[in-house]
Chains A and B, each alone.
Chain A
Amino acid sequence: MTPAPHFRLTDVTLGYEGHPAVHHLDGVFEAGSMTAVFGPNGSGKSTLLKGLMGTLKPLSGSIERLDLDARDIAYLPQAQEIDRSFPASVHDLVSLGLIRRTGFFSAVGKGQREEIAMALEAVGLGGFQRRPIGSLSGGQLQRSLFARVLLQNAKVILLDEPFSAIDARTVSDLLSLIHRWHAERRTIIAVLHDADLIRAHFPESLVLAREPVAWGLSEDALMPANLLKARRMNEAWDENAPWCEENAA
């Protein structure tokens, strides 16, 4: 099977209120690739994932989704996006992964209950169905989010900071799950903060600092010079920054 691009980005600028968070990005994510997105806070990593999903429209340029419809993309949000005070169970949270297949309005059947049980087993949370999400530890919550991604059974998997504030054992369990997905030829794009972990596990990296800094094999992209460049990014939001003329010409 020859690799085909899943996402083709052509001069993409993504942002809010006319201010770019991702500035003039070109490139492709190939089917079956496994890419880490690295960069300082505010460098546009999460924004890029929203652009890939299509929930945020580019300010300019285009993101083509080739041979993909929305159900082919599974998304793992940052854990802080989840309202853990909501009185829902692990079952309620994880079963959302089936929603593309079951729709919103039909009941979760027996076969699907078994799928949920297996997915929870696979992330080391066997028998957790009835636990309130508010009683989970950070690691357990992250495991249950991975179980939801498992149920989505998607070609493309987008992970937004899957390992922030997670202990080493959980990280290694979840990494082996990611490697399994990679072996199954799924496309993986993960926002990560740990350069050593990326070098050890992710073949490709995209280094962002609003501007794209590097995109390629991880050992090249994560060279010290690039990391330094990324670290120097000016996070300031200049209300009166001049208009970018690059794509006006």
Chain B
Amino acid sequence: MGSKFSIRKEGRLPTFVSRQMLDTWKNQKKALETDARVASWVTAFEWPDFFSPDFDSPDTGTPREEKRPIERDAKTAFRLDIPTLYVKREHLVDLMKLLKTAPEYNYNFLLHLSAIDFLNSPDANDAVRNNGKRFQMLYMLRALHPDKPAFKGLTIRVLLPVNEDELIPSLTSLWVGANWPEREVFDMFGLKFEGHPDLRRIIMPENYRGFPLRKDFPVGGIGEDYLIEDLLTDRLLND
């Protein structure tokens, strides 16, 4: 049953993490934790468990099938794949600017922008991690430099705990592409952005009531007949 191909694995690292990525990440970890500015901007760091020195066993000689147990009972262990920073709201743009431009980080590509609602989360730890706030903005950055192999495939996550009534600084000044994703977050979660050029609903109709991706919004919707009524009223008034 010998196969020509086998999954590339370095120690027990996840498949998409190479040892080189881990080394660069660890250097960045050192730089981030010692930077005084970052210390005043960031409330917490979370590092994946493969950052700890005892995780990384050098037993590359053993066949893969034997050394990889099925993690059937790992229900309690919290697993994270990407280095994470919890940032203060007023310093979001500062941190993003540093991560984007500083040569040791080089995260020049806004990979993902979304939000998470932690209302009634089953994990009590969520409220602690999220400073007791309900929502969390999720930003993912990638170092996209084909000419710099040391930064190959690096990704980092920035989380921003917010409440419904707080204005979130818009990232459109740094990445013009943040425009539509921020509108989508506004549309789906009702979170408002400060400094956004055109904050309107993007996917749902303008007269839609409620924010569908909030946890207290029913999955079946709240009954959308009013949209038709609105349309009819509109027509009647205009005709």
Q: Do A and B come from one complex?
A: no
> Chain A residues in contact with chain B, CB under 8 A?
none
